[in-house]
Amino acid sequence: MIDDLAPEFRRLLDLPLYGHLGTVRPNGDVQVNPMWFEFDGEHVRFTHTTKRQKYRNLQANPSMSMSITDPDEPTHYLEVRGRLVDVIPDPEGTFYMHLGERYGKPLGGPPADRADRVILVMRVDRTTKQ
Convert the pLDDT of each residue in 66-99 to its tens digit: 999 999 999 999 999 999 999 999 999 999 999 9
Rounded distance, CA 17 to CA 57, Å? 23
Q: Could you tell me which of 119, 125, 127, 129 has the C-alpha nearest to residue 46?
A: 119
What CATH number was assigned to the domain covering residues 7-129? 2.30.110.10
What does R_g of the chain's alpha carbons equal in angstroms?
14
Rounded distance, CA 109 to CA 100, Å? 10
Convert the pLDDT of each residue in 30-62 to its tens digit: 999 999 999 999 999 999 999 999 999 999 999
